[in-house]
Structure 1
Amino acid sequence: MRRRDFLTTAALTGGAWAGLEVGEPAAERSGTETRSPRLEKSPYYEFSSDSKECLIHRHDTPVPWMNLLGNDRFVAWVCHNGNIVESCLINNESNRLTNHQSGYLYVRDADKGDYFLLNWPGKGSFWQSVQGLGYTRITTADLELTVTGTYFVPRDEDVLLWLVSIKNNASRTRNLDTFGLVEWCLGDLYRSTILPGGDFPGLMNNFKRVQYSDRILYANNYAWGTLGQFMGQKAWPYTGFFASSLPIKSFDCDRFLFLGPTGSFRNPRAVQKGVCVSKPAFGFSDFPLGVLHSALKLGAGESQTLVLILGIVRENSDALRIRDKYGNAAAAEKAFRELKDFWGNYVGQSFVVATPDPDTDRLINIWIKYQHRASMLKNLNTGRRGFGVWAPAYGYGGGRASDIREVGNVPCDLELIKENILDYLESPSPLLLESDVDLKWKPPARPEPPMPYPHDGRGLWPYPVCWYVEETGDFSFLETELHPKTTHPWMSKTEPRSVYTAMKGAIEWAQSGLSERGLPRLNPGFGDWNDGLSLISREGKGETIMTAMEICYMLKHCVELAKAWGKSQDAEEWTQQYEHIKTAVNKYAWDGEWYVRAFTDEGNPVGGSRCEEGKIYLEPQAWAVLSGIADEERSAKCLKSVDDLLLTELGPRLCAPYNKPAFDVGIVGDFGPGWRENGGIWNRTTAWTVMANCLANRANQAYEMYRRAAVSNASKNTDRFWLPPYVYPEFYVGTGADFGRGQFQWCMGKTGTMWRAHVYYILGVRPVFAGLLVDPKIPNEWPGFQLMRPFRGATYAIEVTNPKGLNFGVKSMVVDGKSIQGNVVPAYADGKTHEVKVVLGA
């Protein structure tokens, strides 16, 4: 099969199952009813024919549906109505440019005085929004005008462009006014750290200045503090600017002057009057505005495009340069085409799947890749890319071990994964420029609670390095020398500082502080991956079973890497450590039908059958199988317990919910039943459990669990789910009246794990050190599937057929017309495309 034929079949989008000719229909082969494609239409939205756009038909979604627009440096959260929730350079605390009252565009008929707001349709007027890959587009038809605004961040400049097209549908010439509006933040921590989401003015507003020059509004803050430190030590090192491609007729900087004493953002006084005050300002009682008013004249049927430019620079001369660069519609439209090409290439040139499940194909081929990649940011000090945006509710950052695990889940850009690993190992500093955070005065350090044990996940980063080497086959990466000043606690003081010696140190460090029973201890007042388990270890004697299992998973992968690289002594030592912890877990944590979650200071189990509430937790059941700790019998039992005790129509709960505060467990019991860690449905833990089911050969259960939990399923009931259907949130409410409601949209930590569970475990195509393993675990009604992916310098077009309606088991494999033994395809590394045909059978 040629590449273009495959891409046609797969449609890049997951938009349709190709109808492979693989023998008898699935229903006849398996005796079961074949699932119909689940492409149901919602009254709120639908996806475009190529699945790269979510078309939103109603402005009144239950909550605003956001899109993350950015270029690895400058990012903006833009809602489906064009409201710019925030924009910032790298960090949304210290370098936030604008606040949430931004992105509004008013269009006014200057002859009649009527006006409308692009972002919010008038009664009976046409309105549609599009959330696309890297852009948000809104179209409104009112007052015999059609206005389309496209918001996007070009790949090469730290700006947000509004490309606005206005068409006169009337049979007469029209004189029109436009008003574009932003609300300045200018590095002010106040809103995010003191009153999150509030509108109370920040103290920094007294030192903010907005002035107009050269058709540009410039905004500065002369009293700035960073990273929560004392404000007022120096000026914010950036300048915000707002410009237009049209001549400026008037402008406003003050909220009161623009809105008027009785006005609102829906009906501001300046728009009603058709003119702004044009008064610069220095010192505010509230966050300052930036409003640009322009005029244009359109003949009957005529259209015109204007460009609004919102950006952040260190020198005013750069603002002039950028204004001139994008100050005409042709240049902005060219930048928009380049942006679409970037995202089209990214989602289309890595992994492409075509299965009988078009909803999941759309997520796998496009939207998970997009959500994952859009969340990456660049370290301004090193220039390396990596983890950046966790979720709008949690802010931005990096420098955590879990970041590496999340970035490595979606291997569409291996160079990015490499950069992220090295940046974590060498640069624990913030992503901001070090010169900007080196203030003369610093507040006294707050006392930190003691953390004698490393069992908060920091020492578990080596296994994503194993993933990276499996993907690339590049063992030389392990020899990469690290900066001599790297200060992580696992860094060797005697051996050369390489990635591999750092791995060895981390493996040793991760096992320091094991209890007498051989289980990892919890730090006093802290949980593990589940930080809701904060009171299990008040005295530092509590033990975590999940971390024990994750250490074993790490050791297992590192043993395989060491063997493949000829480090037999390390492999032997790590195998012994693995067996020691495995034995301890099976001895102390097996509860008869499932594994307990942890032990308190007093040795009481958490998540055990003897517990009054919270009898079972999901994580240890998944990790027991993933790590190889559970044998076949125990794997079957603990996964069956998940089915019986935790599974819902939207996937498995994180735990059996607590119905009253759990004072001996932690803040997990402070949430209502079904909320957050108290029985919420988390896609990451679901994905772990799907992988475990696949490894246990429970293919039907794995797929059904995945299908239920996928955002494509949860979002079918928009009035229940609330959140956008194109990206994963942090969790779904797991029980009660709010069951199924999504919480914290755009959570990067969930999306990659769901991608990995589907591609690597359900479809079963994943790298091993020897090559590319093909080990599908699919529903028996599937006739087969197709997948194309790059791997170690070659491309593999894989077609799996299932003529007997089985779940797993490779009967034959043919590569380029030649039969090969087993189910591992060699790494050809020849730059060619290789056809791989796999038949399932006993």
Structure 2
Amino acid sequence: GMVELAPGEARELVFLLGEGETAQEAREVMARYRQPQAAGEAFELVLSHWDKILDTIEVHTPDTAMDTILNRWLPYQALACRVLARSAFYQSGGAYGFRDQLQDVMALVYARPDIARAQLLRAAAHQFKEGDVQHWWHPPTDRGVRTRFSDDLLWLPYVVSFYINTTGDRAVLDEVIPFLEAPLLATGEDESYTQPTVSTEQASLYEHCVRTLDRSLGLGEHGLPLMGSGDWNDGMNRVGNQGRGESIWVGWFLHNILDWFTPFSEAREDSKRAAAYREHVIKLKRALEAEAWDGDWYRRAYFDDGTPLGSVQNEECRIDSIAQSWGVISGAADQHRAVRAMAAVEEYLIRRGDGLVILFTPPFDHSALDPGYIKGYVPGVRENGGQYTHAAIWTLIAYASLGDGDRAGELFALLNPINHASTRAGLHKYKVEPYVAAGDVYAVPPHTGRGGWTWYTGSASWMYRAGLESILGFLLRGERLRIDPCIPRSWPEYEINYRYGSARYSIKVENPFGVSRGIASVEVDGELQPTDDIPLKDDGAKHTVRIVLGVRPQATAEIQGAETAQSPLIK
């Protein structure tokens, strides 16, 4: 009904939204929270719950828009929407995606490592005993899709490795989880929607990971990983679905995973497998440089018939960003080629006038190539040559990995949704919520710069990691922390407040020489540290950390000594 307020009058209104198993339970909930005091107390509990999570890491930088999105919105989006709700305006499904939530929980390892750990085990429980996985599934029945995707299964060892390296929790590898069983895909069948059964066979998380890796070691004609019915770009589902096409992106990705995971095999004295993985890394690197380099950038894939994709030979999709960015992120690409490839990304894929970092160009439209359902998207929309924010963030991370802090900071500002609403014109162009990451942004008139799917996108987790880890350099390694930033040279300083258990660490990073990276000194509670590592103690105390960017004095002396020895002009 109508609520009328007299001059100076104030009233408190309580709106109740909820559900109950029975009508009686619903009535009891309504009766309890009709009292404003009870509703207020419940609201304060909700605020306290989120504060405890979102206040774990708080940053203060010269880029206030970065502070706004990093400090609360991105981790909130990753947890509330992606992990808990799994639903939003543009995709209201409630399903788990195998690769999706694994990537999401990477943003939660600092504030809620328990949630990240639980997702590792949940994902492993949706792996078939043959090693492949459900692409997605719906609880509570867990009915879902079995596919021939080449990357889905690989995200398990990738995120397991990231989780262990960050938290130090190697015990997770010993957790025992059952497999699933379902009919195998028939010849010529790319996917099937089935109701699997829980197998009587179970194994450790380590065994789940190595079944994934062992299944992914097959190579095609060019010595590159087989693409199957798709890789990260779902829409490229007919590039390799006949079993011969190869994915260069999966090559970089698998190289990265084997590099990270093999030490766990060695630590468990699984020496035969570790040796095989080391040898496979060498094979991959050799093939990637011999068969993937196109002259100015790396190709994206090879079709079943051997036709290259992402090549200057192509009319459409001549250059694809993720084949360049992951060459850098994996650390596998030749250094000179990596720089050259990212220069090509700068030239062809970063459109500063439109505020976009597009996925590839030109988009698929009229050429004879049939990469898959991606060609059904309007050119310049979503995966078909629009800005797919996920991949755009990988571009940012690659530039930071190369030490280009200016470009990394610029791209973060360009991708940050907060900045899309900084002007009235920008707001009317962007049209969607400016406080959460959007999965895609249109790159075709008349909608250029318009946000696509919001909330339900894995780009929230990656944007958080890009800002916190790649730019601000926050690298947690169990009970040690290292700050190894790659910031814009114009930044004079920034701060990170980190809650480690019951302790608080107030970290100030100073940049007196205007550099992007490099650590000159680290002090903890006024004591100069012999290395760049910050030892962490869960002791209930407040600790101060001072980091000065630059070159360590010892390194400077060594450089000067080498120059003196080499120069005939200095005596």
Structure 1 length as normaliser, TM-score? 0.58
> Structure 2 CA distance, aligned partners of 1:502 and 1:547?
19
- Partner letter of residue 324 of structure 1? A
Q: Is the aligned partner of 1:577 residue 2:277?
A: no
> Structure 1 CA distance, aligned partners of 2:37 and 2:528?
54
> Structure 2 CA distance, aligned partners of 1:578 and 1:332?
58
> Structure 1 CA distance, aligned partners of 2:382 and 2:524?
47
Matches within 5 A, 1:158-197: 166-169=3-6
**Structure 1 partner of 2:362:** 657
* Structure 2 CA distance for partners of 1:498 and 1:541, relative to 1, 3 Å: same
SS across alignment from 2:384: coil
> Structure 1 CA distance, aligned partners of 2:436 and 2:78?
9
* Structure 2 CA distance for partners of 1:563 and 1:838, relative to 1, 3 Å: farther
**Structure 1 partner of 2:555:** none
**Structure 1 partner of 2:411:** 705
Are the counterparts in 2 of residues 522 and 528 from structure 1 also a CA contact under 8 Å? yes
2:290 aligned residue (584, 587, 598): 587
- Partner letter of residue 169 of structure 1? A
1:752 aligned residue (461, 481, 492): 461
Matches within 5 A, 1:79-478: 107-108=1-2, 166-169=3-6, 302-348=9-55, 350-377=56-83, 388-389=86-87, 392-411=90-109, 412-426=111-125, 432-434=139-141, 451=147, 453=148, 455-478=150-173
- TM-superposed CA distance for 1:572, in Å, is 3.6
Are the counterparts in 1 of residues 441 and 451 from structure 2 also a CA contact under 8 Å? yes
- Partner letter of residue 657 of structure 1? P
User: Any idea what the Cα deviations from partners look like across 1:6-54, whole Å, max 9, x if unmatched?
Assistant: xxxxxxxxxxxxxxxxxxxxxxxxxxxxxxxxxxxxxxxxxxxxxxxxx
> Structure 1 CA distance, aligned partners of 2:21 and 2:86?
22
Aligned length: 523
Q: Is the aligned partner of 1:625 residue 2:328?
A: yes
Structure ranking higher in strand proportion = 1
User: Any idea what the Cα deviations from partners look like across 1:322-375, whole Å, max 9, x if unmatched?
Assistant: 122122333222222222222233222x11111100011110001112211212
- TM-superposed CA distance for 1:568, in Å, is 5.9
- TM-superposed CA distance for 1:599, in Å, is 0.8
Are the counterparts in 2 of residues 781 and 805 from structure 1 also a CA contact under 8 Å? yes
- TM-superposed CA distance for 1:611, in Å, is 1.1
- TM-superposed CA distance for 1:621, in Å, is 0.6
- Partner letter of residue 222 of structure 2? R
* Structure 2 CA distance for partners of 1:825 and 1:792, relative to 1, 3 Å: farther
Residue identity over aligned pairs, in percent, reads 28
- TM-superposed CA distance for 1:818, in Å, is 2.3
> Structure 1 CA distance, aligned partners of 2:180 and 2:378?
43
SS across alignment from 1:700: helix
User: Any idea what the Cα deviations from partners look like across 1:109-131, whole Å, max 9, x if unmatched?
Assistant: xxxxxxxxxxxxxxxxxxxxxxx
> Structure 1 CA distance, aligned partners of 2:214 and 2:501?
31
**Structure 1 partner of 2:318:** 615
* Structure 2 CA distance for partners of 1:824 and 1:307, relative to 1, 3 Å: closer
SS across alignment from 1:366: helix
User: Any idea what the Cα deviations from partners look like across 1:466-507, whole Å, max 9, x if unmatched?
Assistant: 12112221211211222x455599xxx999711112122221
**Structure 2 partner of 1:543:** 246
Structure ranking higher in helix proportion = 2
- TM-superposed CA distance for 1:636, in Å, is 0.5
* Higher gyration radius (CA): 1
Are the counterparts in 2 of residues 647 and 653 from structure 1 also a CA contact under 8 Å? yes
> Structure 1 CA distance, aligned partners of 2:41 and 2:138?
30
> Structure 2 CA distance, aligned partners of 1:788 and 1:542?
48
Are the counterparts in 1 of residues 82 and 458 from structure 2 also a CA contact under 8 Å? no
- TM-superposed CA distance for 1:727, in Å, is 0.7
1:679 aligned residue (385, 401, 415): 385
* Structure 2 CA distance for partners of 1:724 and 1:828, relative to 1, 3 Å: same
2:401 aligned residue (670, 675, 695): 695
- Partner letter of residue 347 of structure 1? L
**Structure 2 partner of 1:19:** none
> Structure 1 CA distance, aligned partners of 2:288 and 2:179?
37
- TM-superposed CA distance for 1:726, in Å, is 0.7
- TM-superposed CA distance for 1:736, in Å, is 2.8
SS across alignment from 2:280: helix
* Structure 2 CA distance for partners of 1:573 and 1:402, relative to 1, 3 Å: farther
- TM-superposed CA distance for 1:827, in Å, is 4.2
* Structure 2 CA distance for partners of 1:630 and 1:374, relative to 1, 3 Å: same
> Structure 1 CA distance, aligned partners of 2:216 and 2:139?
29
> Structure 2 CA distance, aligned partners of 1:561 and 1:767?
18
Are the counterparts in 2 of residues 454 and 510 from structure 1 also a CA contact under 8 Å? no
- Partner letter of residue 423 of structure 1? R
Are the counterparts in 1 of residues 230 and 241 from structure 2 also a CA contact under 8 Å? no
Are the counterparts in 2 of residues 715 and 723 from structure 1 also a CA contact under 8 Å? no
User: Any idea what the Cα deviations from partners look like across 1:530-585, whole Å, max 9, x if unmatched?
Assistant: 11213323533211111121111111211344567776665443222222222211
Are the counterparts in 2 of residues 614 and 656 from structure 1 also a CA contact under 8 Å? yes
SS across alignment from 2:458: helix
* Unaligned 5+ runs, structure 1: 1-106, 109-165, 171-300, 379-386, 439-444
**Structure 1 partner of 2:566:** none
> Structure 2 CA distance, aligned partners of 1:793 and 1:308?
36
User: Any idea what the Cα deviations from partners look like across 1:149-199, whole Å, max 9, x if unmatched?
Assistant: xxxxxxxxxxxxxxxxx45236xxxxxxxxxxxxxxxxxxxxxxxxxxxxx
Are the counterparts in 2 of residues 389 and 748 from structure 1 also a CA contact under 8 Å? no
SS across alignment from 2:315: coil
User: Any idea what the Cα deviations from partners look like across 1:690-711, whole Å, max 9, x if unmatched?
Assistant: 1111111122111112211111
RMSD: 3.0
Are the counterparts in 2 of residues 812 and 839 from structure 1 also a CA contact under 8 Å? yes
> Relative CO higher for 1 or 2, CA cutoff 8 Å, sep ≥ 6?
2
Matches within 5 A, 1:508-523: 508-511=214-217, 513-523=218-228
* Structure 2 CA distance for partners of 1:307 and 1:767, relative to 1, 3 Å: closer
Matches within 5 A, 1:495-534: 497-511=203-217, 513-523=218-228, 526-534=229-237
> Structure 2 CA distance, aligned partners of 1:763 and 1:671?
36
Are the counterparts in 2 of residues 596 and 617 from structure 1 also a CA contact under 8 Å? yes
Q: Pick which of 760-769 and 784-793 moved more.
A: 784-793
* Structure 2 CA distance for partners of 1:430 and 1:593, relative to 1, 3 Å: closer
* Structure 2 CA distance for partners of 1:362 and 1:587, relative to 1, 3 Å: same
- TM-superposed CA distance for 1:835, in Å, is 2.5
**Structure 2 partner of 1:111:** none
SS across alignment from 2:107: coil
* Structure 2 CA distance for partners of 1:431 and 1:609, relative to 1, 3 Å: closer
- Partner letter of residue 658 of structure 1? P
- Partner letter of residue 290 of structure 2? K
* Structure 2 CA distance for partners of 1:653 and 1:580, relative to 1, 3 Å: same
* Structure 2 CA distance for partners of 1:763 and 1:563, relative to 1, 3 Å: farther
Are the counterparts in 1 of residues 125 and 180 from structure 2 also a CA contact under 8 Å? yes
* Structure 2 CA distance for partners of 1:471 and 1:566, relative to 1, 3 Å: farther
1:730 aligned residue (435, 439, 442): 439
2:342 aligned residue (622, 636, 639): 639
**Structure 2 partner of 1:834:** 543
Are the counterparts in 1 of residues 406 and 488 from structure 2 also a CA contact under 8 Å? yes
SS across alignment from 2:320: coil
Are the counterparts in 2 of residues 522 and 544 from structure 1 also a CA contact under 8 Å? yes
User: Any idea what the Cα deviations from partners look like across 1:638-681, whole Å, max 9, x if unmatched?
Assistant: 11111011001224210013262344223333333321112211
* Unaligned 5+ runs, structure 2: 127-133, 185-198, 552-571
> Structure 2 CA distance, aligned partners of 1:696 and 1:592?
20
